């Protein structure tokens, strides 16, 4: 029997009696609320009790509420800070207009996203002013971006309380689930299997494929069970229900539209649609916004590049369909993990700022804002992205490691002049450790003892280096879990930061300064140790990071390294692996092999990601008849040199196992 509606405010007293604490108000939209210093500590099971109370009050099975919340946020509250799409709290209740200010349009900046100076017409064209993507009026916002105001109406709670109090947020999510169940004409059943349709509607998706993929993920969590300690130290558990049914027939009553996946290259485990980027000619050899190719036959596909969009979903789709703009292969939506493909894998998208990497990679844009760095990425998007990346890696035989699954911030500048203009997304708040766990390629120790190599692997939630430049006046960012560890010139946090000579300015703790930053999953040769500190070879220097045995930030590894060949003091490094001049046929202009302002000195070692001949894909005209793949005899090794990868000529170095003795 359905209980009479709860009077507004009654549930507020219930939660407070259960011991939930209201958080402080937000000072700025993008700054997370902090618990007052004199507030009593929360009991470690307080969040679990909040789920139980909300489930009882709104007659939603507690397991369903826990499963939905896990897919939204992994039960984290993020101290009241919004997600990349303005979602708050454990239930990711969205209020995008409260969370997002104007943000730069994706791709705006001084760099050349195509990364090929052979296209003179495109590289010499004056840069357009950077337009902005703003949240549209409330009437034009899709329903998935304003679930928090709906929850406020259903619960009688103030929007601010739903944003900042985890218990209130959970109650709001329960109210939305119960409302979805009623709208489907279904009873508030105690059987989780009866809630498949409501979970699908809760996703905010407007099509059946996306809603089903989301609901399937939630029910997968329910069947497997989960247990973790949240970012606020709360212990939450969800018991496994391995025999739980998935009643997909309930989708027929949701009224969601059907979206065809025809034309899209995606696994069946994600919702996907084909929204093509235009291949259009504007005049004599001026065209956009990608190049036709025949990959993986010519060229091969060796890399997957993770980006964030720096814009909201609708604006991002409008941008990639603009023939005068840049392109990428896939976009992923934050609220529900929906995927749109824009450029076929066989063709070359303009996304990384390095033509060599562009011609050999697939670019994946994730809805998010590095310019709003206190925000966080949703679990639904992480999972959808991991399934897509795993599918692409299997299809194109791409190793699942950090020298082949790159962030945009790991792509090297192709020339010395381009280094300072390279992009820095997805930034230090992308959770690489969790992402690779979802890829079923976790970062584990691969050597005994201390090891001659290390894999960077901090505890994401506990690792919180200070970053600046999150607001005007070089303001410090709110404390936030991070995938990156900071590097110093000595084994002391008061020593100087490692300097990147290619940047042309001294190192800072700025969010976009990658000079002194090693990221989760990246591997480096050990240069020295001192107590709780480890030194690695990085940018031609000995770089120190804190690595205490009680809470290590790296694990021992083994692999192959390169060092200068005998008799050579140092060797040059490159941002692209181009062929030697003699490899170019008539009609294809020779591309310069431009050394970067870095060296690999004698006595230092750097981890190898792979070996390949120099390649250059010549594609500077709209008509494809003149396109050529030039392959040289000169071989290159890809190495992890700093935060970004680099290339070194194989003839300049010797390849060694990491445990070989020093010369």
Read off the DSSP letter of residue 410.
G
Residue 479's pLDDT is what? 83
**Given a cut of 90, is residue 140 above it in pLDDT?**
no
For residue 572, give both structure tokens: 């040059």
Range with the poorest average pLDDT among 137-141, 230-234, 294-298, 399-403? 137-141
pLDDT class of 537 with cuts at 50, 70, 90: very high
Mean pLDDT throughout 347-359? 97
Contact assessment for residue 608 and residue 557, using Cβ atoms and an 8 Å cutoff? no
**Given a cut of 80, is residue 97 above it in pLDDT?**
no
Contact assessment for residue 363 and residue 317, using Cβ atoms and an 8 Å cutoff? no
pLDDT class of 370 with cuts at 50, 70, 90: low
**Given a cut of 90, is residue 485 above it in pLDDT?**
yes
Rg of the chain (C-alpha set): 26
Contacts for 525 with CB less than 8 Å, ≥ 6 apart: 452, 453, 536, 537, 561, 604, 605, 606, 607, 658
More confident position, 15 or 545: 545
Contacts for 416 with CB less than 8 Å, ≥ 6 apart: 502, 594, 595, 596, 597
Q: Give ∠ CA 430-432-434 in degrees, rounded to 5.
A: 105
Beta strands in 250-322 (DSSP E): 272-274, 280-283, 286-288, 290-291, 303-308
pLDDT digits 0-9 by tens, 405-456: 999 999 999 999 999 999 999 999 999 999 999 999 999 999 988 789 999 9
Cα–Cα distance, 336 to 582 (Å, whole number): 51
Residue 21's pLDDT is what? 27
Q: Give ∠ CA 516-466-426 in degrees, rounded to 5.
A: 65
Read off the DSSP letter of residue 142.
-
Domains annotated on the chain, with CATH: 10-100+135-253 (1.10.530), 103-134+262-561 (3.40.80.10), 562-657 (no CATH)
Cα–Cα distance, 387 to 188 (Å, whole number): 33
Residue 10's pLDDT is what? 44
Cα–Cα distance, 194 to 497 (Å, whole number): 56
Range with the poorest average pLDDT among 99-103, 148-152, 547-551? 99-103
Cα–Cα distance, 450 to 465 (Å, whole number): 24
pLDDT class of 1 with cuts at 50, 70, 90: very low
**Given a cut of 50, is residue 142 above it in pLDDT?**
yes
**Given a cut of 80, is residue 271 above it in pLDDT?**
yes
> What does the mean pLDDT of the chain come to?
88
308 forms beta bridges with: 366
pLDDT class of 139 with cuts at 50, 70, 90: low
**Given a cut of 80, is residue 26 above it in pLDDT?**
no
Residue 3's pLDDT is what? 35
**Given a cut of 70, is residue 471 above it in pLDDT?**
no
Query: How far is CA 581 from each of CA 30, 584, 616, rounded to the nearest angstrom?
Result: 51, 6, 11
Q: Give ∠ CA 539-499-462 in degrees, rounded to 5.
A: 90
Residue 13's pLDDT is what? 34
Most confident region among 22-26, 246-250, 468-472 by mean pLDDT: 246-250
Residue 663's pLDDT is what? 55
pLDDT class of 31 with cuts at 50, 70, 90: very low
**Given a cut of 60, is residue 305 above it in pLDDT?**
yes
Cα–Cα distance, 332 to 335 (Å, whole number): 9
Mean pLDDT throughout 57-86? 94
pLDDT class of 41 with cuts at 50, 70, 90: low
Residue 280's pLDDT is what? 92
**Given a cut of 70, is residue 2 above it in pLDDT?**
no
**Given a cut of 50, is residue 16 above it in pLDDT?**
no
**Given a cut of 80, is residue 77 above it in pLDDT?**
yes
Contacts for 590 with CB less than 8 Å, ≥ 6 apart: 581, 584
Mean pLDDT throughout 95-107? 56
**Given a cut of 50, is residue 311 above it in pLDDT?**
yes
Residue 138's pLDDT is what? 65
For residue 305, give both structure tokens: 């590049």
pLDDT class of 19 with cuts at 50, 70, 90: very low
Query: How far is CA 626 from each of CA 84, 281, 282, 314, 585, rounded to the nearest angstrom?
Result: 42, 16, 18, 36, 12
Mean pLDDT throughout 44-72? 97
Residue 131's pLDDT is what? 38
pLDDT digits 0-9 by tens, 102-135: 344 444 445 577 888 887 644 333 333 333 445 4
Residue 278's pLDDT is what? 95
Percent over 90 (pLDDT), the chain: 75
Contacts for 494 with CB less than 8 Å, ≥ 6 apart: none
Most confident region among 3-7, 318-322, 365-369, 537-541 by mean pLDDT: 537-541
- Rounded to the nearest 10°, the torsion over CA 49, 51, 54, 59 is -120
**Residue 137 CB: number of other CB atoms within 10 A?**
8
């Amino acid at each position: 029997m359905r209980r009479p509606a709860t009077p507004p405010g009654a549930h507020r007293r219930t939660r407070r009696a259960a011991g939930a604490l209201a958080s402080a108000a937000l000072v700025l939209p993008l700054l997370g609320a902090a618990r007052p210093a004199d507030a009593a500590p929360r009991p470690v099971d307080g969040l679990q009790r909040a789920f139980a109370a909300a489930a009882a009050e709104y007659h939603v099975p507690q397991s369903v509420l826990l499963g939905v919340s896990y897919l939204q946020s992994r039960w984290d509250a993020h101290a009241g800070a919004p997600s990349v799409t303005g979602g708050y709290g454990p239930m990711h209740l969205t209020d995008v207009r409260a969370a997002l200010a104007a943000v730069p349009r994706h791709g705006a900046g001084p760099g050349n996203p195509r990364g090929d100076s052979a296209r003179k017409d495109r590289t010499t064209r004056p840069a357009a002013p950077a337009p902005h993507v703003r949240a549209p009026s409330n009437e034009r916002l899709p329903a998935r971006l304003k679930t928090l105001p709906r929850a406020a109406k259903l619960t009688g709670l103030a929007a601010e309380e739903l944003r900042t109090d985890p218990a209130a947020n959970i109650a709001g999510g329960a109210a939305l689930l119960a409302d979805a169940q009623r709208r489907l004409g279904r009873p508030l059943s105690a059987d989780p299997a009866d809630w498949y349709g409501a979970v699908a509607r809760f996703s905010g998706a407007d099509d059946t494929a996306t809603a089903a993929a989301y609901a399937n993920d939630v029910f997968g969590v329910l069947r497997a069970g989960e247990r973790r300690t949240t970012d606020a130290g709360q212990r939450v558990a969800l018991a496994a229900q391995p025999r739980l049914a998935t009643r997909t027939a309930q989708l027929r009553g949701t009224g969601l539209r059907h979206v065809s996946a025809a034309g899209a290259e995606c696994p069946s485990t994600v919702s996907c649609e084909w929204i093509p980027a235009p291949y259009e000619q504007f005049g004599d050899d001026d065209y956009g916004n990608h190049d036709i190719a025949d990959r993986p036959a010519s060229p091969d596909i060796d890399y997957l590049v993770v980006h964030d969009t720096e814009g909201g979903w609708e604006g991002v789709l409008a941008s990639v369909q603009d023939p005068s703009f840049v392109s990428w292969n896939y976009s992923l939506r934050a609220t529900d993990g929906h995927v749109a493909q824009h450029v076929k894998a066989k063709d070359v998208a303009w996304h990384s700022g390095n033509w060599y990497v562009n011609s050999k990679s697939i670019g994946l844009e994730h809805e998010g804002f590095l310019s709003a760095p206190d925000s966080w990425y949703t679990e639904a998007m992480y999972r959808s992205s991991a399934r897509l990346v795993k599918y692409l890696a299997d299809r194109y035989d791409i190793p699942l490691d950090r020298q082949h699954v790159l962030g945009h911030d790991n792509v090297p500048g192709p020339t010395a002049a381009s280094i300072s203009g390279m992009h820095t997304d997805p930034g230090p708040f992308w959770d690489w450790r969790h992402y690779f766990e979802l890829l079923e390629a976790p970062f584990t120790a691969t050597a005994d003892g201390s090891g001659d190599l290390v894999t960077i692997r901090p505890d994401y939630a506990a690792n919180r280096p200070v970053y600046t430049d999150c607001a005007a006046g070089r303001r410090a960012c709110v404390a936030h879990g991070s995938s990156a560890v900071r590097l110093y010139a000595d084994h002391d946090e008061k020593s100087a930061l490692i300097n990147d000579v290619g940047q042309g300015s001294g190192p800072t703790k700025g969010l976009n300064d990658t000079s002194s930053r090693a990221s989760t999953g990246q591997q480096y040769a050990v240069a020295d140790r001192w107590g709780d500190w480890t030194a690695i070879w990085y940018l031609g220097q000995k770089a120190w990071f804190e690595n205490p045995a009680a809470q290590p930030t790296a694990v021992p590894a083994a692999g192959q390294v390169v060092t200068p060949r005998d008799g050579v003091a140092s060797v040059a490094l490159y941002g692209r692996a181009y062929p030697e001049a003699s490899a170019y046929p008539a009609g294809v202009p020779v591309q310069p092999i431009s050394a970067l302002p870095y060296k690999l000195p004698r006595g230092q070692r750097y981890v190898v990601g792979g070996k390949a001949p120099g390649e250059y894909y010549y594609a500077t005209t709209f008509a494809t008849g003149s396109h050529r793949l030039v392959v040289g005899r000169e071989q290159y090794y890809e190495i992890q040199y700093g935060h970004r990868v680099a290339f070194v000529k194989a003839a300049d170095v010797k390849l060694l196992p990491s445990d070989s003795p020093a010369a």
